[in-house]
Amino acid sequence: MHDLKTIRENAADFDAALARRGVEPVAANLLALDEENRSIATKLQEGQARRNEASKAIGKAKGQGDEETAQALMAEVSELKTSLPQLEEQQRVVSGKLRDALAALPNVPNADVPEGADEDDNVEVERWGTPRSFDFKPLEHSDIGPPLGLEFETAAAMSGARFAFLRGQMARLQRAIGQYMLDQQTTVNGFQECAPPVLVRDEAMFGTGQLPKFSEDSFQTTNGHWLIPTAEVSLTNSVSGQILDEAQLPIRLTALTPCFRSEAGSAGKDTKGLIRQHQFEKVEMVAIVHPDHSDAEHLRMTEAAESILKALELPYRKMLLCTGDMGATARKTYDLEVWLPGQDTYREISSVSTCGDYQARRMNARFRPEGETKGTQFLHTLNGSGLAVGRTLVAVLENYQQEDGSVIIPEALKSYMGGIEKLEPAN
């Protein structure tokens, strides 16, 4: 959500910033709705004040025997009782239009975000690790996995496309990856472990920006709850509607949860394998910080995600997303793309974003600066994957595959695998 005061003071700058994201000028329409809303509010306040004043004057006039004045005042009060509800309805409609118009707009990108239309315009910041040289043709995970316990047909029979059934050593490896990531983010990187709900209400989805614009990308239950597309929704909303003390900041939260996405906007993309599933697991990181610290926190969170890839010795590159490829709530985003030898390309495995006060305004989440007794400021929020478990499983299968179809367990995961050092194809 955007600050109307800022738009009033810098309408041209606001339009110019959103134009970098391909948004047509909107400030004039927002300000017209804002002016109409404030005008109605003023009339409403004046009418309510006059009604109260006239009501008091009726008794005084009657007490003085001035029936003519009393009757005139009663007629005025009667008229106000009719007109004021009409003004209240007008304000409800206009304020609703203004709120909806603001809610539909994406966040303003940081000045250092490159302008571009799509992923082709993202900027590579750095690379880490050297892709392994194979003395055989490396396979994709969808070919490596089935003999090791990765079953797509079993899942399709009960759930349809974009689901997987993991069995035995493959299920153990997925669990090991998730537990390892969660342990690293809590014990090494300073995030507090949480176990949040995976079913949330409309307000929570609105607060983090999934609603109203991206409802088709998520699953909704018959009683109106939403299955979270990421634990970002649950973790960030843990401060919704609150006023924190500055001393409580920063708040760093993490959770390993199932995530659910309808993938409505990706028809035909990555239909093979684990890359784009309706249900998957992810370790999510969320930070809630003082506005002065959000840029530094963004770098810290990105490094926390990178630390997992380095520990697993998975080559990756860091990309600064352009204006056309960022999520709607983000001001700036780094994507980490892991090397997949079977596909002979880098694929996204983590996305770390700073959102400024965009989500905090939607959630009305604020803090009270030290030394202040009345004034409050909106918090800044950040979120990122630390990492996507299924995609990390893909990367391990492809980077650690052997010619005989087995997969070596990365050193960092061996203590989580109960003595298993290699996944062996079933006889």
Q: Which residues are catalytic?
A: 261, 276, 348, 351, 391
Answer whether 254's CB lies under 8 Å from 284's CB: yes
Strand partners, 259: 280
Query: Cβ contacts of residue 238 below 8 Å, gap of 6+?
Result: 194, 196, 253
Q: What DSSP string describes 361-423? A: HHHT-EEE-TT-SS--EE-EEEEEEEEEHHHHHHHHHHHSB-TTS-EEPPGGGGGGTTT--EE
Q: Is the dihedral of CA 340, 344, 350, 352 positive or negative?
A: positive
CA separation for the pair 361, 374 (Å, rounded): 18
**H helix runs in 124-215, sequence order:** 141-144, 152-159, 169-183, 202-207
102's tokens: 């603001």
Answer whether 285's CB lies under 8 Å from 304's CB: yes
Burial of 328 (0-12, 13-18, 19+ CB in 10 A): middle
Q: What DSSP string describes 264-287? A: GGGTTSS-SSSSS-SEEEEEEEEE
- CA dist 190 to 252, 260, 285, 301, 308, Å? 7, 26, 10, 10, 14
Answer whether 57's CB lies under 8 Å from 144's CB: no
CA separation for the pair 127, 118 (Å, rounded): 21
Q: Is the dihedral of CA 151, 222, 383, 216 positive or negative?
A: positive
Strand partners, 338: 316, 347
**Phi and psi for 330 in degrees, rounded to 5?**
-85, 145
Amino acid letter, 242: Q
Query: Cβ contacts of residue 82 below 8 Å, gap of 6+?
Result: none
Answer whether 386's CB lies under 8 Å from 254's CB: yes
Cα 155 off chain centre by: 28
